Structure 1
Amino acid sequence: MTPVSSPASTGLAPLRTVQVTGGSAAGSIHVRSLAAGLIARGVRVTVCAPSDTEHTYGFAAVGARHVPVPRSSDPASVAALRIACADADVVHAHGLHASFRTVLALGGRNTPLVVTWHNRARAGGTARAALLKVLERRAVRAASVVLGVSSDLVDRARRRGARDARLSAVGLPRVLPAGGAARAGAGAGELDRRAKLRAELGALGRWLVLAVGALEEGRGHRLLLDAARRWRDEDDTPLVVIAGEGSLRGELQRRIEHEGLPVRLLGRRDDLGSLLTAADVGVVADCAEGRSLFAQEALHAGLPLVAADVPGMAELVGDGAELVPFGDAGKLARAVSALLVDAGRREELVRRGAWQVGAWPTEDETVAQVLSVYDELTQPLPLA
């Protein structure tokens, strides 16, 4: 195994790392950012990910070698992963299922394994919960180091038997300039574009509330519709728009139509920056991510945010957002309504949110932390 502190500057053979991801948004965005930073520091990076994930996130575009590996844990997928990891100095798996597949692929080799947990895995029943616990234990006990993006994930890894679990609050790329520049310092052209988008969404002359996330279980969309039912008969009814696509679209759309809810499903969007600028308030009704991607974008863009107080959220947003108890549609609805009519409170949240953003790690700091872990695992032990 090659001892490397800074491959590009030491003249030693470059460190070889394999990044394994199953395709979750948080994990894949981090892998792309991490790959770019590692490659800039002279590290050779291979990314094992499904082909559609490569198409979406473009690992090869930042200089990584992409090896298509399906999300499945079937023998063919595990074999492909085993071949890709054959000459790696460090293997880094992102997410529970990716880390479990990687453990199977490494098959007891002494290659250092780093595991990062980005999301909070959830189980829908007793049998599934028991299986989930087994997978978590298998993954973290085989890992040399487990990195959790929030303190609750670090604690969870330790409870499952991790030998070494550490906090790694990852820094991610942004879709808007820092400080909500597109909102606070908008010129006439930007204001015109904002007004045009609000008109297209049907929000001229009314409040616009934005939620973002796949239309899947665990995203809180049903709860958000429950809250919207409470706004339906108000004199100043806000319009709720949800950007995202998924298997619950039919169910949610039927509810919207049957109950006459002031909600629009926008489907997949590639203009998140514009939506953040156009909205008056953002909402996170539920989140399994250790560091909510949408909450980060909202605070960074200067969009006042109401978020469920799920594990990791308070740690992420501090006092830069209104936190409400998880699962309480009434309190969620009241918090949003109160914020919409209180311009002073919205401005205060924007200021506090900007301060909170400044305390988050940068992409470079995240890469440096991960590289220091790799360096630690690949350095030879000192002679006695």
Structure 2
Amino acid sequence: MRVLLVMGTSAGGVGAHVRGMARLLTGAGHHVVVACPTEAAERFDLAEHATTVPLEVTDRPHPVRDARAVRDLAEPIRGADVVHAHGLRAGAVAVLAGARGGVPLVTTLHNAAPTGRVTGTVYAGLERVVARGSAVVLGVSADLVERMRHLGARRTGLAVVPAPPFAEPARDRYAVHAELGIDARTALAVVLARLAPQKGLDLLLDAHRDLADLDLLTVVAGDGPLREPLQRRVDAEGLPVRLLGRRDDVPDLLAAADVVVSSALWEGQPVGLQEALHAGAAIVATDVGGTAAVVGDAAVLVPGGDPVSLSRGIRDVVTHGGVRDDLRSKAVERAAHLPTEDEALAAALDAYRDAGAG
């Protein structure tokens, strides 16, 4: 099957997912082309698993650039048996580019649409375009699926977004503590998050106001546009939080963690929490989007946007070994039920068949 994957600008999960799907589809004998911005192709090394063609779909609507993207995508679509767009913007461009071609389109929505008076109106229009122009719309959380169904999508379903294969840690807790320059008795909270508004990191910093009495260091592995303002706030308030930037030793951090924290305002199928479950970590997370569906009972879930509840959850896990051990046992059990890469491939191929691809 000739599969055209389409994506826009990405600095995190969408790009990693598209790279994984390109690898799986190619490994299964399909011919894969990825249409995406040149920067994204390079960042995720997409050429390793697929033919890439440049397509400038940015993170914000722009009439001139978007019209050019629609025109540029028309030719790759004509050479495909199925188109699989990832993200609302990419989906809308794919709908318009393939409107008369008859090539089936599957769109996967990875994020909730932005809100706001002007931005929200624009993205609501894009949602309607995708819902009505895609043969199948998949969402990474049930709320996204229900939204598309409400807008008239013909076929909908829950996307399968697996974590990358689990890697064993290379160092133990004591080595990680030594690298961080903290005592072995200091509790370590680990956050895996892009430094972006959706991840609710200001909420995390708010929660630390009620944790000042604990011997606790929180480290955030990830980078993004909010790094400078977050660092200024950490410095100004003297918070025990370190922004580590992008790390290639996430398994080591997870193995050393007393608690893994997610303060997100919205999530789909958070890969970072899937990794934490595979590592057998104790988790405290905001109950937003698809988080509960991923972690099940293997986490302390607190209301989204509530720093007091978040701090209480963290305190409970850090100060009570029994709670921590129970969560770790549940994490190992839950990890056994998380989706695998084989299941993700099978789900994608099912969606292509449902869309009408041969």
Partner of 2:179: 200
Partner of 1:143: 134
Q: Distance in 1 between matches of 2:20 and 2:225?
A: 29
Partner of 2:61: none
Q: Residue by residue, what CA displacement relative to the aligned partner does 1:224-262 show, whole Å, maximum 9, x if unpaired?
A: 001112222x0x331111122222222212211111111
Aligned residues: 350
User: Could you tell me which amino acid in structure 1 is paired with residue 7 of structure 2?
Assistant: T
1:96 Cα shift? Answer: 0.7
Structure-2 change in CA distance of 1:263 and 1:203 (3 Å): same
Question: Is 1:52 matched with 2:39?
Answer: yes
Partner of 1:301: 279
Partner of 2:2: 16
Q: Residue by residue, what CA displacement relative to the aligned partner does 1:135-181 show, whole Å, maximum 9, x if unpaired?
A: 1111121000111222222111111221111122322313425xxxx
What SS does structure 1 have at the residue aligned with 2:345? helix
Question: Is 1:230 matched with 2:221?
Answer: no
User: Could you tell me which amino acid in structure 2 is paired with residue 363 of structure 1?
Assistant: E
Question: Is 1:372 matched with 2:350?
Answer: yes
User: Could you tell me which amino acid in structure 2 is paired with residue 329 of structure 1?
Assistant: P
2:79 pairs with one of 69, 83, 87:
87
- Between the two proteins, what is the percent identity of the paired residues? 41
8 Å Cα contact 1:21-1:93 kept in structure 2 = yes
Question: Is 1:108 matched with 2:94?
Answer: no
What SS does structure 2 have at the residue aligned with 1:74? helix
8 Å Cα contact 2:131-2:152 kept in structure 1 = yes
1:173 pairs with one of 160, 164, 169:
164
1:287 Cα shift? Answer: 4.6
Structure-2 change in CA distance of 1:320 and 1:23 (3 Å): farther
Q: Distance in 1 between matches of 2:294 and 2:218?
A: 24
Partner of 1:190: 171
Partner of 2:117: 126
1:324 pairs with one of 302, 326, 337:
302
Q: Distance in 2 between matches of 1:304 and 1:316?
A: 14
What SS does structure 2 have at the residue aligned with 1:283? strand
TM-score, length basis structure 2: 0.92
Q: Distance in 1 between matches of 2:253 and 2:218?
A: 12
What SS does structure 2 have at the residue aligned with 1:36? helix
Runs of 5+ in structure 1 lacking a partner? 1-14, 183-188
Question: Is 1:67 matched with 2:58?
Answer: no
Q: Distance in 2 between matches of 1:257 and 1:170?
A: 36
Structure-2 change in CA distance of 1:175 and 1:57 (3 Å): farther
1:290 Cα shift? Answer: 0.9
Partner of 2:190: 210
8 Å Cα contact 1:227-1:333 kept in structure 2 = yes
User: Could you tell me which amino acid in structure 1 is paired with residue 176 of structure 2?
Assistant: L
Structure-2 change in CA distance of 1:301 and 1:162 (3 Å): same
User: Could you tell me which amino acid in structure 2 is paired with residue 213 of structure 1?
Assistant: A
8 Å Cα contact 1:150-1:169 kept in structure 2 = no
1:18 Cα shift? Answer: 0.2
Q: Superposed, which structure 2 residues align to 1:289-368 within 5 Å?
A: 289-368=267-346
Question: Is 1:159 matched with 2:138?
Answer: no
User: Could you tell me which amino acid in structure 2 is paired with residue 50 of structure 1?
Assistant: P
1:379 Cα shift? Answer: 5.8
8 Å Cα contact 2:187-2:318 kept in structure 1 = yes
Structure-2 change in CA distance of 1:102 and 1:293 (3 Å): same
TM-score, length basis structure 1: 0.86
Q: Bigger CA drift: 129-138 or 76-85?
A: 76-85
8 Å Cα contact 1:210-1:240 kept in structure 2 = yes
Partner of 2:201: 221
Q: Residue by residue, what CA displacement relative to the aligned partner does 1:295-332 show, whole Å, maximum 9, x if unpaired?
A: 11111111111000102111111001110011111111
User: Could you tell me which amino acid in structure 1 is paired with residue 90 of structure 2?
Assistant: A
Q: Distance in 2 between matches of 1:376 and 1:334?
A: 46
What SS does structure 1 have at the residue aligned with 2:288? coil
User: Could you tell me which amino acid in structure 2 is paired with residue 278 of structure 1?
Assistant: A
8 Å Cα contact 1:51-1:68 kept in structure 2 = yes
8 Å Cα contact 1:47-1:67 kept in structure 2 = yes
Structure-2 change in CA distance of 1:343 and 1:330 (3 Å): same
8 Å Cα contact 1:50-1:68 kept in structure 2 = yes
Q: Residue by residue, what CA displacement relative to the aligned partner does 1:81-131 show, whole Å, maximum 9, x if unpaired?
A: 2222221110000111111121222233211000111222231x2222222
What SS does structure 2 have at the residue aligned with 1:48? strand
Q: Bigger CA drift: 282-291 or 68-77?
A: 68-77
Runs of 5+ in structure 2 lacking a partner? 59-64
What SS does structure 1 have at the residue aligned with 2:261? strand
Q: Distance in 2 between matches of 1:287 and 1:56?
A: 26
Q: Distance in 2 between matches of 1:244 and 1:369?
A: 29
User: Could you tell me which amino acid in structure 2 is paired with residue 210 of structure 1?
Assistant: V
8 Å Cα contact 1:99-1:139 kept in structure 2 = yes
Structure-2 change in CA distance of 1:83 and 1:335 (3 Å): same
User: Could you tell me which amino acid in structure 1 is paired with residue 244 of structure 2?
Assistant: L
